[in-house]
A and B are shown apart, each in its own frame.
Chain A
Amino acid sequence: MMESTPEETRISASSYRIDPLLFAAVCALVGFGLVMVYSASAFYAQRSFGAADYFLRRDFAYATLGLCAMAVAARTDFERYRRWAYPLLGLTVLLLLGVLLVGARINGAKRWFHIGSLSFQPAELAKLSLMIYLARSLAKKAEKVKSFTVGFLPHMAIAGLMMVLLLKQPDLGTAVILGMATLVLLFVAGAKVSYLVLAFLGAAPIVYQAIVGTPWRFKRMLAYLDPWHYRYDVGYQITESLISIGSGGLTGQGLGDGKQKLFFLPEAHTDYILAIVGEELGFVGLTAVALCFTLLIWRGIRAALRARNAFGCYLGFGIVAVIALQALVNLGVVLGSLPTKGLPLPFVSNGGSTLVVDLLAAGILLNISRGAPEAATTQRIVGLGWWSRLWARSNRRRWRRTTGERVQLEIGE
């Protein structure tokens, strides 16, 4: 079935519609996060800071800042970042080096810059700048991506450098996320699977050494394998998390009625926010969060597919990969399926600069989702267009190319 749209007045690229579902998924997660942060932290905040809404206020401020950043990014043509890829990469590496020298040490890790009352994690920037660099480089090299020296080695070297700097902090969690996102992005761009397997195998001994060679990581590993044996030691967080989630049942104990946040569960409002979700909203709540991320993955990949060029595609996919992998690792940790990693849940966990950078990335993704006419072809190839069909019916405004050439949007077969 074909459907054509009437010719309309010229509109600029920036006024192409962003993907409303993607936007909705991000907003739902942020809003949900605010509610859960309040529920999880109110008691602790009251006891520690004398104000139940201490963390809520902070989170709200960062969310507002982040949404502004998202709005700006969604209106800024992603093409602009192509130019900034190398300067950003250089800045990131400098910051990662700098934080090792002058960063604030919290719980034995040097991850933060403190400027006044604000804190900033270079690792957050690293995720974004590495994705921009990889997207630009992979788009440029195109077919040469398959080669080892041109397509594989330079990208792995840059990613490896960042990972090493992150491991120095130490921040194994972010390093692993970056490594996995890089491998996945290289895979999508067409790198040889054998190289990727090789890289993976090459990284394995390093990760093994990082775990076995660091007593606390090794203990975390043991706690992961048998949390109940280490219940009052390194297994404390994981067992308390399991108790929280398990006691939630199907529908949970009701929002705000969870008991574990009364200090049993450390960092309830940050890395373990999902444990509180599981306790208070039960399986239904966890499933809803998982569905939001599923929506985000789906619409994010759809945006990548519909990007008007390879740079947008890779960048969009890179952002989706980082967010999705981080969500997977966080959920896996909270459910006891993965060893403990200090990774927040994107958009939901309380956490200053993380939330801002994540929302900024989401804004870029939204901008990419504005798409291009190629999107029409994409729909045909992979058959992801059913929702667009509905969307098209209800909304007669159609996409146009920046060139001003009128385009007929083909829908369906």
Chain B
Amino acid sequence: MSAWATGQRWVRVRLVTVGIVLVVLLASLVARAWRLQIKESKKYRELAEDQYLKEVELPSRRGRILDRHGVELAASAEVESLWVNPAEINALGHGEEIVRAFHEVLHIDLPTLRKALRTHRHFVWVKRRLSPEEAAAVRGVQRRGVYFTKEPRRWYPNRALAGPVLGWAGLDGVGLEGLELHYDKQLRGARAEIQGLRDALGREVFSEGLETPGHGGYDLVTTIDKFIQYRLERALEAGVERNHAKAGVAVVLDPKSGEILAMAAVPTVNPNDPSLQPGQAVRNRAVTDPFEPGSTMKTFSISAAIEAGLVKPEEHWYCENGKYQIGPATIHDAEKIGDVTTTQVLAESSNICTAKIARRSGRERVHNLLRRFGFGAATGIDLPGERGGVLRPVERWGEVELATVAFGQGITATPLQVARGYATIANGGTLFRPRVVSRVVDDKGHVVTEFPPEGHRVLAPEVAATMRQMLFAVIQPGGTGEKLAIPGYRAGGKTGTAQKVDPATRRYSTDKWASSFVGFAPLDDPRLVIFVMVDEPSGTHYGSMVAGPVWRETMEAALHYLHVKPSEPAAVATMPPSTSGSAPAIEEEGVVSVSEEEVVTPGAVEVPDFTGLSLGEAVEMAQRAHLALEIAGSGRVVNQSPGPGRARASSRCHLQLSPPG
């Protein structure tokens, strides 16, 4: 008691001192809180909002790409993607377990996985677009902090079919090439964005209201016809292989609208290949690669003379027996030709007489016609990467240039430009803007945007008619394409055998050729224009022998497929029965599926009789028949349209259901 008493005073002083110090420290922390909460509050509030008011993006379904009949060329399927929440996993302390499990199941190396978990973030992708087997395996080792998210994966059911045209979309559903790139905005659709509260796991917590209207990706209805595309690709592949050529390119146009029915390139590309990179050396050569077209250009230079009334088809020309001097240059013909008519000049493809005809027209007329036909400028097709070729300004044309341009050297054009030029002659003189997409539709099938044919007259119908007759002669006996006649149909066309410039010597090479054939059918009312070019064939290089067969094969199949009436009834009888109907023809030729998922259905399908079936039975039957259904009402099928029998492939069958009794 006494010790306590004597020490008391100082003890008390010290006690109070310590108490005051503690309270002062507390007050200084309150002052710190004041600074954070009152003075800097705005900054922190923004940081906080940045964290939890993340725009919750609802990835919309990427639109499909359809052929002209509605067959899917590109579609999106939902697949599982795997992500983890490292913060949660680290808090639970089972990171190593997860790392080992993933290593075993997904074969991702351990350091990569460990590194991915070494963070306080709440979202890290482990692997995206898992295969169903991988997803199942991961589910087997499911732990807290491991999550799946559905992500759309782009899917091209027909594999490489029309690959260079379709292009492809990357992992995040962004179009990188082809139509996928050109129409990326429409395919992606407007993203619906919800300002939702997001917890640290990135999950939406509260998401009522604030929704901005979005819509799914729109579908593209292309002008591509899957059947023609398929036939063209097979024929072109075979042609390239047969001639041991470097590459091939082909285009099928509807001359009456400028619609692209098919467009092929060899080598092609399978857009399902995940290793594809943008700008890879897989080009849609029909629009990206101008080349010196050669003799196919003669049609245009002669058109200029006919149009001006300077030359008549039956006028005679002397072709100098294969050798002719223009200024400093000597021009050769492939074969020695003597005295021929203008029609024969084209049919036998004389360079010398074409040069003479062009000289009579004069450089302005030839240049003007080529300009009108769209050479030297891009066609404006709805595909990326298009180039326009080179048409030199007329002031720079000398005597020699006029002659060479007249037979297609010294000028470059894309296959599409050449095909379009022939389509213009085929349709009577209207230059159409080529199109791959005819309309954009929403998920209910309503048209969002339509692209009607855009064309303008560039040539008088009579001149075009004259040219068609002259081109008909090419495929007649005596013409360069005499072997290309199609039984039952009259057609017009032109061969092209162009020397290529050797990139090493910068001179015309003697063994590098671009062999092409372009033509239309039927002659009097052309439905199709087909251009085929085989690049650097080895062995024979004549357009008629290299590209011609590809053209003929495709044209014949397409005419039958389109049920085009043969113009020479007599010839029908000579047709082998196997090619009389398009659909069975394919099956008998043993065409197999282009993909495991979908057998290439040619032009028609067999529609079963649905009457009296329940909905379930009808759906099952429709699946077997590869038919899409539209269903109205409930009960049993009482009516169907189209009725049982043969119908256009990929058409929808409308079923009317009604309760029994």
Instruction: Say yes or no: is A70 at the interface (Cβ < 8 Å to chain B).
Output: no
Nearest B residue to A244 via CB reads: B48
Which of A54-62, A112-120, A154-162, A291-299 lies on the face that meets chain B? A291-299
Q: Which residues of A contact B312 (CB under 8 A)?
A: none
On whether the beta carbons of A297 and B22 are closer than 8 Å, the reply is: yes
Is B1 a contact of A309 with CB atoms below 8 Å?
yes
Cβ contact within 8 Å between A236 and B120: yes
Asked if B6 and A283 make an inter-chain contact with CB atoms under 8 angstroms apart, the answer reads no
Measured between beta carbons, the chain A residues less than 8 angstroms from B3 are: 142-143, 310
Stretch of A11-19, A73-81, A85-93, A324-332 contacting B (4+ beta carbons < 8 Å): A324-332
Q: Which residues of B contact A139 (CB under 8 A)?
A: 4
CA distance A335 to B205 in the complex (A): 27
From residue 1 to 31 of chain B, which have CB atoms closer than 8 A to chain A? 1, 3-4, 6-7, 9-16, 18-19, 22-23, 25-27, 29-30
Tell me the total A-B contact number using a CB cutoff of 8 A: 164
Q: Is the CB of B11 within 8 A of A189?
A: yes
Do A243 and B51 have beta carbons less than 8 Å apart? yes
Minimum distance in angstroms from A292 CB to a CB of chain B: 10
Contact between A246 and B40 (Cβ–Cβ < 8 Å)? yes
Q: Mark A187-223, 1 if CB is under 8 A from B, else 0.
A: 1111000000000000000000000000000000000
Considering the chains assembled together, what is the distance between the CA atoms of A43 and B200 in angstroms?
12
Taking a contact as CB atoms under 8 Å apart, the answer to whether A243 and B30 are in contact is: no
Whether B38 contacts A249 by the Cβ 8 Å rule is: yes
User: Which of B40, B47, B201 touches A263 (beta carbons < 8 Å)?
Assistant: B201
Chain B nearest CB, measured from A69 CB (Å):
25
Contact present for B37 and A248 (CB under 8 Å): yes
Asked if B22 contacts A310 (CB within 8 A), the reply is: no
**Is there a chain A Cβ closer than 8 Å to B148's Cβ?**
no
A278 to B35, CA, bound (A): 12
Nearest CB on A from B84, distance (A): 14
| Chain A positions within 8 Å of B43 at CB level | 246
Interface string of A309-327 (1 = CB under 8 A from B): 1100100010011001101
Chain B positions within 8 Å of A247 at CB level: 41, 44-45, 47-49
B11 pairs with A259, CB closer than 8 A: no
By a CB distance below 8 angstroms, the chain A residues around B49 are 247
Inside 8 A of B245's CB, which chain A residues have their CB?
none
Tell me which residues from 175 to 196 in chain A have a Cβ below 8 Å from any Cβ of chain B: 184, 187-190
Which partner residue on chain A sits nearest B198 by CB separation? A262
> Among the interface residues A143, A309, A310, which one has the most CB atoms of the partner chain B within 10 A?
A310
Partner of B12, one of A142, A278, A378: A378
Residue of B16, B23, B30, B37 touching A249 (CB-CB under 8 A): B37
Let me know if A382 and B12 touch, CB within 8 A: yes
Q: Kindly list chain A residues whose C-beta atoms are within 8 Å of the C-beta of B16.
A: 301, 305, 382, 384
A282 within 8 A of B: yes
Q: Classify chain B's interface size.
A: 35 or more
Category for how many chain A residues contact B = 35 or more
A187-B14, A382-B16 given; A243·B47 CB < 8 A: yes
List chain A residues, Cβ under 8 A from B200: 262-264
CB closest chain-B residue, reference A338: B29
- Given A142-B4, A250-B38, A263-B199, does the pair A331, B26 have CB atoms closer than 8 Å? yes
Chain B proximity of A326: nearest CB distance (Å): 11
A286: interface (CB < 8 Å): yes
B34 touches A243 (CB 8 A): no
| Chain A hits for B23, CB < 8 A | 294, 297-298
Contact B197 A232 (CB under 8 A): no
A260 part of interface (Cβ distance < 8 Å): yes
Of A236, A247, A290, the most chain B CB neighbours within 10 A belong to A247
Please tell me if B52 contacts chain A, counting CB pairs below 8 Å. yes
Chain A residues with CB under 8 A of B625: none
Quick check: B44 and A283 within 8 Å, CB to CB?
Answer: no
- Given A294-B26, A309-B1, residue A287 in contact with residue B48 (CB < 8 A): no
| B45/A246 in contact, CB under 8 A | yes
Is B563 among interface residues, defined by CB-CB distance under 8 A?
no
Give the distance to chain A from B12, nearest Cβ to Cβ, in Å: 6
- Does B121 count as interface, using CB distance less than 8 angstroms? yes
A110 → chain B closest CB, angstroms = 14
A residues within 8 A CB of B7?
142-143, 190, 310
In the complex, B460 has a CB within 8 A of chain A: no
**15 chain-A/chain-B pairs, Cβ below 8 angstroms:** A43-B199, A142-B7, A189-B11, A243-B47, A247-B49, A248-B37, A250-B37, A259-B197, A262-B199, A264-B51, A297-B26, A298-B23, A321-B22, A324-B26, A335-B36
Known: A260-B52, A283-B38. 9 other contacts (CB 8 A): A107-B93, A190-B7, A247-B48, A248-B37, A250-B38, A259-B48, A264-B200, A309-B4, A310-B3
